[in-house]
Structure 1
């Protein structure tokens, strides 16, 4: 029981991260056994900045290992974030704060999206990158959203 309470307390301490909704996918490599390799397009709303949605495209490995969740996905990803409503910046916005994270291998590799606020240019900047426990990847993508008044017309 103590273990369950400790686990529940640890979960509450985790940062609030967005969860992605799959928008679509395309097959890139046919696999005889298991799912095909594919590119998946997902969308997620920034959990701390209402009015921002990010679209992430990334490779998903298929085959038997991919079907069982044992394959390591590639590090390449693309991101595009857009203003979809009025943007309200909270007072407690942290530079480089993680807004999305997903495992891309069974244990060692994750893909992350972090947010920066470029105050000088009045923009939000989102960076997607992949890291490993031992060695990360320099492959990354960036997108920026100018913060503008939102009109309903």
Structure 2
């Protein structure tokens, strides 16, 4: 069963690629905070910066948990060009923008996009997704839309 889940998790691609733009050492054993730029693949003109904790090999050895990183993350998104909403999925459940494994099989760090049509705001939520236990660790960022941003579809 675990082998099938592992194989399945390797076959599911991330929603988009992230570009590492910074790495800050936080202690003497090699733990780092990594900062990645994530461009929304369906909404050109929005870039999110995601920061998360990356455990070192020494920390993994001393803690005894080889295959898991913490779920903590921070996110900030900004308008970086013209915005086109014609390709996004609408609805309260949102849509995955980015997904990265945080353990061997059971945990991932995700960024979801939700469009608040009434207030004309894109909401980006970074959160952990776990197979067995949910996590309350999350971070949120918003990108307000301007009048010139195209929104060709009527609200659902």
- Same-fold call, TM cutoff 0.5: yes
Shift of 1:18: 1.2
Q: Which runs of 5+ in 2 are unaligned?
A: 1-6, 150-156
Cα deviation, residue 120, structure 1: 1.0
> Which of 132, 136, 139 lines up with 1:138 in the alignment?
136
CA separation of 1:91/1:23 partners in 2, compared to 1, >3 Å: closer, same or farther?
Answer: closer
Higher relative contact order (CA 8 A, sep 6+): 2
Q: CA RMSD in A?
A: 2.4
Instruction: Give the counterpart of 1:77 among 73, 77, 84.
Output: 73
**Aligned equivalents of 2:119, 2:40: Cα separation in 1:** 20
Residue number in structure 1 paired with 2:33: 39
TM-score by length of 2: 0.77
CA 94–120 in structure 1, closer or farther in 2 if over 3 Å, else same: closer
- Moved beyond 3 Å, runs of 4+: 64-67
What is the total number of aligned residue pairs between the two structures? 134
State the alpha-carbon separation in 2 of the partners of residues 16 and 132 from structure 1. Answer: 16
**Structure 2 Cα separation of the partners of residues 37 and 59 of structure 1:** 7
